[in-house]
Amino acid sequence: MKIQEITSLISGTVVEGEAFIDRDIDCAFASDLMSDVLTLRTDKSVMLITGLCNTQTIRTCEMSDIKVVMFVRGKKVTEEMIELAEDNDMLLITTDFSLYRTAGILFNAGLPGVY
Amino acid sequence: MHFEYNVEGGDFTNAGTTSSKVKKMMKQLGVDPAIVKRTVVALYEAEVNIVAHAYRGVIYVDLEDTSVSIKLVDEGPGIPDINQAMQKGYSTASPQVREMGFGAGMGLPNMQSNSDKLVVNSVVGKGTTVEIVNYF
């Protein structure tokens, strides 16, 4: 699924990585537990949906080869996070929707889970 | 190639900077991306453990043609029972560590599954040494 379709479905805003708007996402994983994100085993293009908004969210995605992160419930992304994301060619999206609603809408629209 | 990095306990802002440097270095050297990922996930888990549990530590990285060997040596409280710490779900992490998205008792088991060789040694009251080796 294209980023543009994803952002439009959940009324999201791209806050970093506009240049990568054409990226295609194969599947998504929703979690606030970074320990869980670090156990993902997949070669597919994954988007993380999370309510955990700090630098370790970005670091975890860097190590896990996750290039797209969606922050739910209107979380504010800090400058430090944006710099880290920029350094790693990541795309960051925010939405006011809850994690449950975001995941539900995207799943219904055809974006599968990792597992 | 040999590299050394210092890690400060409690410094969550910089947790992961060493793992990030190692990842960039391995990528530049053209190591298989799957091996890079396994290595840096194991290293990141170990680096976060130093920040979360120890006072300070040093990470030694040896990058060879066919392997990467990483040794993390920390000064800290140590682990009284390593077998217990290796069990999924066992954790002594502080609320601050949990707020950062860690401390679920998954780190050491995940380090094991992302390493070809993992050796953990610890002396209570002194510190912990973790060795990670992955072959290319």
Residues of chain B neighbouring A43 (CB-CB closer than 8 A): 34
Contact A38 B40 (CB under 8 A): no
Closest partner residue to B19 (CB to CB) among A39, A52, A63 is A63
pLDDT tens-digit readout, A37-87: 999 999 999 999 999 999 999 999 999 999 999 999 999 999 999 999 999
- Averaged pLDDT score across all residues of chain A: 96
ipTM higher than 0.90? yes
pLDDT tens-digit readout, A27-40: 999 999 999 999 99
Cα four-point dihedral sign A97, A99, B16, B103: positive
Q: Residue B25, class by beta-carbon neighbours within 10 Å (0-12 exposed, 13-18 middle, 19+ buried)?
A: middle
- Residue B99: predicted pLDDT: 87
Neighbours of B129 (CB within 10 A): 16
Average pLDDT score over residue span B3-28: 95
Could you tell me the CATH superfamily of domain A3-108? HprK N-terminal domain-like (3.40.1390.20)
Closest partner residue to A56 (CB to CB) among B33, B37, B100 is B100
**Nearest residue on chain B to A54, judged by CA atoms?**
B100
Provide the residue ranges of all domains of chain A, joining segments of one domain with +: 3-108
Collect contacts of A27-30 with beta carbons under 8 A, ≥24 apart.
Answer: A27/A111, A27/A112, A27/A113, A27/A114, A28/A103, A28/A106, A28/A107, A28/A111, A28/A112, A28/A113, A28/A114, A29/A113, A29/A114, A30/A99, A30/A102, A30/A103
User: What element of type H or E holds A9?
Assistant: helix A3-9
**Nearest residue on chain A to B109, judged by CA atoms?**
A39
Closest approach of B96 to chain A, Cα-based (Å): 12
**Residues of B engaging A, defined by a Cβ cutoff of 8 Å:** 12-13, 15-16, 19-20, 23, 33-34, 37, 40-41, 44-45, 48, 100-104, 106-107, 110, 113
Q: Which of B51, B41, B42 is nearest to B130 (CA)?
A: B42
Average pLDDT score over residue span B15-30: 96
- Residue B104: predicted pLDDT: 87
CATH label of the domain that carries residue B44: 3.30.565.10
- Residue A47: predicted pLDDT: 98
pLDDT tens-digit readout, B80-126: 999 999 888 889 989 888 988 998 888 899 999 999 999 999 999 99
Q: How many domains does chain B have?
A: 1
* pLDDT-based confidence at residue A96 (cuts at 50, 70, 90): very high
Which pair of structure tokens corresponds to residue A58?
A: 């970005």
Which pair of structure tokens corresponds to residue B111?
A: 């380090």
For residues A74 and A4, is the Cβ–Cβ distance under 8 A?
Answer: no
- Edge-first strand order for the sheet with B56-63 is B2-8, B56-63, B67-75, B127-135, B117-123
Q: Give the amino acid at B70.
A: I
* pLDDT-based confidence at residue A25 (cuts at 50, 70, 90): very high
- Residue B103: predicted pLDDT: 86
Average pLDDT score over residue span B58-86: 95
* Residue whose token pair is 């955990």: A52
Q: Tell whether the model's pLDDT for residue B16 goes beyond 90.
A: yes
Closest partner residue to B101 (CB to CB) among A60, A63, A80 is A60
Contact A54 B104 (CB under 8 A): no
Could you tell me the residue range of the domain that residue B38 belongs to? 2-135
